[in-house]
A = this chain, B = another copy of it.
Amino acid sequence: MARSGETATLSLEEVDRLTRRCLAAAGADDANAAAVADVVTRAERDRALSHGLFRVPGYCASLASGKVDGTARPEVRRLAPSVVQVDGRDGFAPLALAAGRAPLIERTRAQGVAALAVVRTYHFQALWAEIEPLCEAGLVALACTAYKPVVAPAGATAAFFGTNPLAFGWPRGERAPMVVDMATSAMARGEIQVAARDGHALPAGAGLDRHGRASTDPAAILDGGVQLPFGGYKGSAIAMMVELLGAGLIGERFSFEAGERDVEDGGPARGGEFVLALDPAAFGDAGGRHDHAEAFFARFAELAGGPRLPADRRYAARAETPARGVEVPAALHAELQRLAAGG
């Protein structure tokens, strides 16, 4: 660990160890702390900062308040031949998602298509972190989750949807998978929180202030305002789809319910996650599919203007971080050290 005036530079091993120590000090057992720390460390590695160390104080707060059980053991049930449910038993989502992963992969290979319904968990989980292992197992994957209400549907001025991320992944054999992971809000909540912390303005269209007026001030949006969906009424419709899959179908809380019932301890609200996996080999023509899709990606890369694949920036960061380390704002680093010491 190196420190300059404003930031501390940590290795990935230090990120992992610090996160585990914070969670353990707040009451998490080894299995839960390791599962959360794995996601936090992968997020820092990929410079997906809004899912990284920034989230650890919230995780600790929800252990301290007693809302989240840091010793929970998820329970896996097969509800139908193609449906696996994981009851997180009031623990954090990463351990529940890990518990469901192998059963989902097994069911998908056996059936062609299968769904994983994760319920009774609390999370700040990045969806790409769940999509990637499924793609690495050769599967196509889709995931979504609802959260607390911070986004006004198109045509409304009151918060009702969460930022409701949707992720999709496509396996590419030896290459890193093509993974889309996007908030259905114009911006991710964490990005707005980071902008507020750092004093940056937001692009137009990010949200409304408490009076329903368009605003680019992150503080005004966070303080009684609302975020807006991306892409107007179409993005709003996708946010609704996320509510219905990630809450209605699996029997978990809609965003508006999570908002009403959360104890606001600074940590994640209760929520579920819907994950779908499809086995390309079950759709016939297994020999030619990989090359066919790769021809598609090759043509995409050659287009005038030079478009990039969705995960390219994350993968570029991933390649650089092990040598460069992770820069953490000094104030956050000090807070984490205090939490790790049980303070």
Chain A positions within 8 Å of B, measured between CB atoms, are 79-83, 85, 110-115, 117, 140, 142, 152-158, 160, 168, 170, 178, 180, 182, 184, 230-238, 240-241, 243-245, 247-251, 254, 256, 276, 278-280, 282-285, 288-289, 292-293, 296, 299-300, 303-308, 310
Residues of B within 8 A of A154 (CB): 307
Contact of A276 among B170, B244, B276, B299 (CB under 8 A): B276
B160, A299: Cβ atoms closer than 8 Å: yes
Nearest chain B CB to A139 CB, angstrom units: 11
Contact partner of A155 (CB less than 8 A), chosen from B178, B233, B279, B305, is B305
Determine if A80 and B158 form an interchain contact, defined as CB atoms under 8 angstroms apart.
no
Complex copy number for this chain? 2
> How many angstroms between the C-alpha atoms of A126 and B213 in the bound complex?
37
Distance in Å: Cβ of A104 to nearest Cβ of chain B: 11
Among candidates B79, B168, B241, B306, residue contacting A241 with C-beta atoms closer than 8 Å:
B168
A278–B182 Cα distance when bound, in Å, is 23
For A168, list chain B residues within 8 Å (CB).
Answer: 237, 241, 244
Cβ of A292: which chain B residues have Cβ within 8 Å of it?
248, 251, 254
Q: Tell me the complex Cα distance, A80–B140, Å.
A: 16
Using A79-B284, A234-B182 as known contacts, say yes or no to A276 and B113 having CB atoms under 8 A apart.
yes
Bound Cα distance from A241 to B117, whole angstroms = 21
The CA of A249 and the CA of B112, in the complex, are separated in Å by: 12
- Taken together as a complex, chains A and B put the C-alpha atoms of A36 and B41 apart, in Å, by 54
The residue from B182, B237, B245, B282 contacting A237, defined by CB atoms under 8 A apart? B182
Nearest B residue to A306 via CB reads: B155
Q: How many angstroms between the C-alpha atoms of A261 and B310 in the bound complex?
A: 28
Report whether A248 and B293 are in contact in the complex, using a CB–CB cutoff of 8 Å: yes
13 A-B contact pairs sorted by A residue (CB < 8 Å): A79-B284, A80-B111, A80-B112, A83-B283, A140-B245, A152-B303, A155-B306, A160-B300, A230-B234, A240-B300, A243-B296, A249-B280, A254-B296
Q: Which residue of B lies closest to A233 (CB)?
A: B310
CA distance A112 to B81 in the complex (A): 7
- Taken together as a complex, chains A and B put the C-alpha atoms of A157 and B305 apart, in Å, by 6
A235 to B234, CA, bound (A): 9
Within the complex, which residue of B80, B156, B304 is in contact with A307, where a contact is CB–CB below 8 Å?
Answer: B156
A307 to B239, CA, bound (A): 13
Q: Are B113 and A180 in contact (CB under 8 A)?
A: no
Assess whether B156 is in contact with A304, with CB atoms less than 8 Å apart.
yes
Among A178, A240, A243, the one with the most B-chain Cβ atoms within 10 Å of its Cβ is A240
Tell me the nearest residue of chain B to A119, going by C-beta: B284
Q: Select the residue from A184, A231, A235 with max chain B CB neighbours within 10 A.
A: A231
Q: How far is the CA of A244 from the CA of B84 in the complex (A)?
A: 25
Which residues of the other chain, B, contact A110 by a CB distance below 8 angstroms?
A: 81
